[in-house]
Amino acid sequence: MSVMVFDHPLIKHKIAILRDKNTPMKEFRELVEEITLVMSYEAFKDAKTRKVIVETPLETCEQEMVAEKSIAIVPILRAGLGMVNGVHKIFPNARVGHIGMYRDEETAEPHEYYCKLPEGIENMNVMLLDPMLATGGSASDAIKMLKARGVKTIKFMAIIASPEGIKRVTDDHPDVDVFVATCDRGLNEHCYILPGLGDAGDRLFGTK
């Protein structure tokens, strides 16, 4: 298990704009996608490859390509949907599953309401996506769901994380690599990340 907190000036720049309460919905969506794309280069550096023969204008040569049906991305609904296109821009053939969870506003506990995963996902390198890693409850439960369906290789990617959320995921699932764009100070009494960026789902889809 490893935890990678990105220290990249481009990501820092984009997160500063992402946090701003005045950033409009369209730009917010684009920033989430762009940050995810930059993070994906590192997160998928161990992607499975296969050897192919390519004919250049001058001769043939042996090259490596990402193996077919080797990558699946699974957003936690609904905010995780905002990260899907960022991965698809570099892995357009990645399969997509969906896990639906919501947080009880009183207890902050996650509840599952939907799960649809690609056929053969147990043999794929699976990246679980959620922009916010707050208490870590939703991420931990979603990882349990994937493991229960036979998935052996799981990674988790978030943009904004709290120390509490990272600890919960790594304690519950020491075999899962965690990638976060930045780690914030902590949680408030309502389990929102501080300084954070508010509710990622609302800002992505304009529901508030």
Average pLDDT per block of 10 residues along the chain, 208 residues long? 90 97 96 96 92 97 93 95 95 94 71 89 95 94 94 96 96 96 95 94 90
pLDDT at residue 1 in the model: 62
Share of the chain above pLDDT 70, in %: 98
Beta strands (DSSP E) in 60-152 are: 60-66, 71-77, 95-96, 98-103, 110-116, 125-129, 132-133
pLDDT at residue 108 in the model: 63
pLDDT at residue 121 in the model: 95
What is the extent of the structural domain holding 119?
3-205
pLDDT at residue 208 in the model: 74
* pTM of structure: 0.91
Percentages helix, strand, coil for the chain (3-state, rounded to 5) are 35, 30, 35
Instruction: Name the phi and psi angles at 22, rounded to 5.
Output: -90, 0
Domain of 71, CATH number, reads 3.40.50.2020
pLDDT at residue 193 in the model: 96
Q: Could you give the residue numbers annotated as active site?
A: 103, 107, 199, 202
H/E segment holding residue 172:
helix 163-172
Number of domains in the chain: 1
pLDDT at residue 135 in the model: 93
Contact 143, 76 (CB under 8 A): no
